[in-house]
Structure 1
Amino acid sequence: MNPFRWSFRKQFLLGFACCAALLGYAFYVQFHLRIQPCPFCIFQRIAFAALGLVFLVGGLAAPRSQGARKAWSLLALVPAVVGIGYAGRHSWVQLYPPEMPSCGPGLNFMLERQSWLGVARKVLMADGDCSNINWQFLGLSMPMWCLLWFLALAAWALLAGFRRR
């Protein structure tokens, strides 16, 4: 059975399952392997959760019209592009670490003092510990894998929404 020929519903529910599995693995790494996430990691998790939510609701709605499927596909693209931005920036920080050895205050502290937009801006200017590579698979760090997954899921959403039925 060719997954590229599946219904919109099946394709979107598979996208949800991928996001749920990726988040599950992130929590496994945090709580079982005891590798603590940095602020970049937290924002990537939020992007995966938002993308998964769009996949789930879109899959359950299973729109019949081509226009509605395109709209759901473009809606899924929003958290995917945000995730691509965070994962890409995190990968960049790991490849070209800044000279400052600190990632700054914790995420909870920053949220108490600033708005979400201010915290997001602060995280994007990351320095130090965010550049540590604590986990690798096939020579790629976790943010690099996240970047690949965000790209793949964005392409999957576009395929589901823009494929002729």
Structure 2
Amino acid sequence: MNPFRWPFRAQFLLGFLICAGLLAYAIFLQLQMGLEPCPLCIFQRIAFAALGLVFLIGALHGPSNRPGRVTYGVLAFIAAGVGIGIAARHVYVQMIPPEFGATCGPPLAFLSETMGPFEVFRTVLTGTGNCGNIDWTFLGLTMPMWSLAWFALLAAWALLVSLRRMR
């Protein structure tokens, strides 16, 4: 069965289910395997949740005209683009040798109590905590590398689905 021949709603629902599955797996790793997320991991989760929400709303709405579909595709692409930026920053932080001290700062709870939301976001993305630790790999790739790949795939999926010719 070719997923490119599925209706728009089913294709966007697939995007939502992938995001939900990735978030569920991240929560499983945290709660069952004891892998504590760093601030950049949390921001990636938020980006996956936002992307999944766009996919879900697009699937529920199922616009029948091209401009509506393109709008959902662009919104999903933007959400995925934010995720790509966060995941790329996380990969960069992990690839810097530990002696250079690339980390992402104190725990997010502490930052939230002592700073405003924009300062927290800026502090985390400038890289100062435990984001440089590599606690999990699969096929030689770290979790942020997998997140980056999934964000890129989902961004491409959103554009392909929304820009394809309507029947």
Q: TM-score, normalised by structure 1?
A: 0.95
| Cα drift, residue 102 of structure 1 | 5.6
Q: CA, structure 1 residues 34+159, in 2 after alignment: closer, same or farther (shift >3 Å)?
A: same
RMSD of aligned Cα (Å): 1.3
| Cα drift, residue 82 of structure 1 | 0.7
* Match in the other structure for 1:31: 31
Is residue 54 from structure 1 mapped to residue 54 from structure 2 by the alignment? Answer: yes
Which segments of structure 1 move beyond 3 Å, counting only runs of 4 or more?
A: none
Unaligned 5+ runs, structure 1? none
Is residue 158 from structure 1 mapped to residue 159 from structure 2 by the alignment? Answer: yes
Matches within 5 A, 1:14-163: 14-97=14-97, 99-100=100-101, 103-127=104-128, 129-163=130-164
Paired residue secondary structure (1:134): coil
* Match in the other structure for 1:6: 6
Query: C-alpha distance in 1, partners of 2:48/2:90?
Result: 15
Q: Deviations over 1:66-101 (max 9, x none)?
A: 011000100111211110000000001111145237
Q: CA, structure 1 residues 161+118, in 2 after alignment: closer, same or farther (shift >3 Å)?
A: same
| Cα drift, residue 108 of structure 1 | 1.6
Q: TM-score, normalised by structure 2?
A: 0.94
Query: C-alpha distance in 2, partners of 1:5/1:102?
Result: 44
Q: Percent identity?
A: 56
Report the more deviating stretch, 95-104 or 44-53. 95-104
Q: CA, structure 1 residues 102+2, in 2 after alignment: closer, same or farther (shift >3 Å)?
A: closer
Q: CA, structure 1 residues 102+159, in 2 after alignment: closer, same or farther (shift >3 Å)?
A: closer
Q: CA, structure 1 residues 129+9, in 2 after alignment: closer, same or farther (shift >3 Å)?
A: same
Query: C-alpha distance in 2, partners of 1:101/1:22?
Result: 26
Query: C-alpha distance in 1, partners of 2:127/2:102?
Result: 10
Unaligned 5+ runs, structure 2? none
Query: C-alpha distance in 1, partners of 2:162/2:9?
Result: 10
Query: C-alpha distance in 1, partners of 2:56/2:153?
Result: 17
